[in-house]
Amino acid sequence: MAQKPRRAYGPKIDPRPVDSAINVVELIDQTFLSYNAGRLREAAQLFARKMLAPDVTIGLSLTGALTPAGLGISCLIPLIQSGFVDWIVSTGANLYHDTHFGIGLNLHQGSPNVSDVTLREEGVVRIYDIFFDYEVLLETDAFFRQTMTAPEFQKTMSTAEFHYHMGRYVRERETLLGQKRRSLLSVAAEYGVPIYTSSPGDSSIGMNVAAQALLGNKLVFDVSGDVNETAAIVLDAKRGGGKSAVFILGGGSPKNFILQTEPQIQEVLGLAENGHDFFIQITDARPDTGGLSGATPSEAVSWGKVDPDALPDTVVCYTDSTIALPLITAYAMATHAPRTPRRLYARREQMLATLAEEYRQKNA
């Protein structure tokens, strides 16, 4: 008896054997078929086939110690240089540790099984299996404190403006050292990719800003400016006839900050909008604990963060970002041509003015 076709069936599970000739695209497309390998395949395909369309503005959030593990150099910088990331929300810690590389300091592979008491006695700092000298912290602190005394920092500014100026100074240090591009801050400034920090006091960068304030430094972070600038980026993408995508590595505060742009537009400002159009999250957090890091894109629909019509274009992959990001980056590089950088940093004031005018008209 002939079987009736079933809509729930996808392609047959019939992978090609893995051999020495297989490339990363073939590996992902043809052998990442089920479970979280299947979700990683779906994420890579969604990113390369839909999110990298010319009319999509891509926001990236960074949580977890990714830059100390070298992912800024191996993945994030190439993504920016290829025009595959348009704006970023990051923990301050990722940007602080990124700066080590830019100013010529070294981090090393280590072991999580070494005694931390011994490491402390030897002046070694550990991030799980990443080791570096305590002096790396002191030299990086000194770099930030000295740089913050420059005239352009003596005012209130958004974290995007702070990171742009700081990135230019890191670039100067890279040039003086004659080294290759190793800093995300440096490359983001060059390509006009604005970087925001959702909790600017919660890192060694914020600690050094606070220390300098005790000596009369005038630098103050404008957190309201950050909220409005990020909302303006998303509104600009939509009002220009394009789409908005979020690529979330981890969860935490940066995840909320990149997603709250839509509730800011819809709920708080009262402007007509439907939510982000594409959503990828790489996380190891469960949804049933009620934490934001594990919250699903379908839950985000109830907040207005994700367009309900866009749910088919959302993927959550439960794995480590240090595994998923290199694979997705390699897949995108192999299957999609570079995009023209949007250079959103230079358009911040224009986008913010448009957001403010629409809000004023709504409340006239």
Contact indicator for 122, 132 with CB cutoff of 8 Å: no
Q: Which residues contact 56 (CB under 8 A, 6 or more apart)?
A: 50, 237, 242, 243, 244, 245, 277, 278
Q: Which of 243, 255, 305, 362 is catalytic?
A: 305
8 A C-beta contact, residue 199 and residue 92: yes
Q: Is 305 a known active-site residue?
A: yes
The residues annotated as belonging to the active site are 305
